[in-house]
């Protein structure tokens, strides 16, 4: 790897090791191990892979986990009932509802029914609201993991020009909030670009820090960024490749080679942001277990 490559796999490994030690300490004080309940609806292969990665990580760090797979014909009523059961089950600390959901299940209607104290994804309006006003919360895992990368690689955000491309509830929107907030890893002048943005390059070219989370292969090219930019590529796109074993390969939202030529730091796909999301979920699940015993104010 070039020396401007951010090794998310390595940093995530360090974080998981830390969570593992913290879980051991928590259990040694007489508490039961934290437990994550994962919910997968339908059989989207990528979602299955992600849920497997999450339950595997749980095992590694000493967090118990259970996953349930519901058919994609499930009604919203049935799903809400299942969530209600997990909400009132005291042996469960965190509930992970893997997104996207099948079209007839509206994510916001479902997410609202998750107990915000078990919302380890940080998607519940209560937690998003708390993030927005700077109160303790569960922070959405991917943007929180990106801030950990900044910390590890000593990327300063204060006063910098940060540009986030993609305004999803999962990544772009909470990322922009975190970068712009008045806290340790914020204080950046932050622009949030989305599908209605005119002349994207006019914004990206000015970025000191560029976070791209769109799901559009090679949307960002080297010509769209300035020399020395720090680039975080959140995209995980499957593109057909007959020479690959699985018939596809993974590419990000950036044209890696041309962007890497100008970037001072850049995340690869895979091995950049993905492992950090999983590590932060472990952190949040332990936090949920701790807060269930010692509630915050
Ligand atoms: N789908 C894509 N990213 C995520 C994530 O971080 N959490 C969940 N639950 N679903 C996702």
Ligand 1 pocket: which residues have CB below 6 Å? Answer: 96-99, 121, 141-142, 170, 277
Query: Which residue in this structure is represented by tokens 């937690």?
Result: 127
Selected from 3.40.1380.10, 2.60.40.10, 3.40.50.720, 3.40.50.10860, the CATH number assigned to the domain covering 30-118 reads 3.40.50.10860
- By most ligand atoms within 8 Å of CB, the mutation choice from 98, 100, 123, 214 for ligand 1 is 98
d(CA 266, CA 127): 29
CA 67 to chain centre: 19
Provide the residue-wise pLDDT of the chain in tens; the chain has 297 residues: 579 999 999 999 999 999 999 999 999 999 999 999 999 999 999 999 999 999 999 999 999 999 999 999 999 999 999 999 999 999 999 999 999 999 999 999 999 999 999 999 999 999 999 999 999 999 999 999 999 999 999 999 999 999 999 999 999 999 999 999 988 789 999 999 999 999 999 999 999 999 999 999 999 999 999 999 999 999 999 999 999 999 999 999 999 999 999 999 999 999 999 999 999 999 999 999 999 998 874
Token pair belonging to 22: 């913290």
What ranges do the domains of the chain cover? Answer: 30-118, 141-275
Would you say the CATH fold of 141-275 matches that of 30-118? yes
Q: Which atom of ligand 1 is nearest to the CA of 140?
A: 6
- Of these residues, 54, 93, 233, 253, which one is catalytic? 54
- Sorted by sequence, the CB contacts under 8 Å of residue 173 that are 6+ apart come out as 167, 192
d(CA 204, CA 167): 15
What is the number of residues in the chain?
297
DSSP-assigned letter for residue 152: H
- Of these residues, 22, 93, 121, 233, which one is catalytic? 121
Query: Is 98 considered catalytic here?
Result: yes
Measured over the CA atoms of residue 177, residue 181, residue 185 and residue 187, the dihedral's sign is: positive
pTM of the complete model: 0.97
CATH topology of domain 141-275: Rossmann fold (3.40.50)
């Amino acid at each position: 790897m070039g020396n401007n490559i951010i090794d998310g796999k390595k940093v995530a490994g360090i974080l998981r090791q830390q969570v593992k030690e913290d879980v051991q300490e928590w259990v040694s004080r007489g508490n039961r191990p934290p437990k994550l309940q994962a919910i997968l609806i339908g059989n989207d292969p990528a979602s299955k892979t992600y849920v497997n990665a999450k339950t595997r990580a749980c095992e590694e760090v000493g967090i118990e986990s259970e996953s349930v797979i519901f058919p994609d014909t499930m009604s919203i009523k049935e799903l809400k009932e299942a969530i209600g059961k997990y909400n009132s089950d005291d042996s469960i600390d965190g509930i992970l509802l893997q997104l996207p959901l099948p079209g007839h299940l509206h994510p916001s209607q479902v997410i609202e029914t998750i107990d915000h104290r078990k919302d380890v994804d940080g998607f519940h309006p209560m937690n998003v609201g708390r993030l927005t006003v700077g109160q303790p919360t569960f922070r959405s895992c991917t943007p929180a993991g990106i801030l950990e990368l900044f910390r590890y690689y000593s990327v300063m955000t204060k006063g910098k020009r940060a540009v986030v491309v993609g305004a999803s509830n999962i990544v772009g929107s909470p990322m922009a909030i975190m970068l712009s907030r008045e806290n340790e890893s914020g204080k950046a002048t932050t622009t949030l670009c989305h599908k209605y943005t005119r002349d994207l390059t006019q914004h990206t070219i000015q970025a000191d820090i560029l976070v791209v989370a769109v799901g559009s292969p090679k949307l960002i090219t080297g010509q769209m960024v300035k020399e020395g930019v720090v680039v975080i590529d959140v995209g995980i796109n499957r593109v057909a490749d007959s020479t690959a074993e699985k018939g596809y390969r993974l590419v990000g939202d950036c044209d890696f080679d041309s962007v890497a030529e100008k970037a001072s730091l850049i995340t690869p796909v895979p091995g950049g942001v993905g492992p950090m999301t999983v590590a932060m979920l472990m952190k949040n699940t332990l936090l949920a277990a701790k807060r269930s015993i010692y509630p915050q104010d």
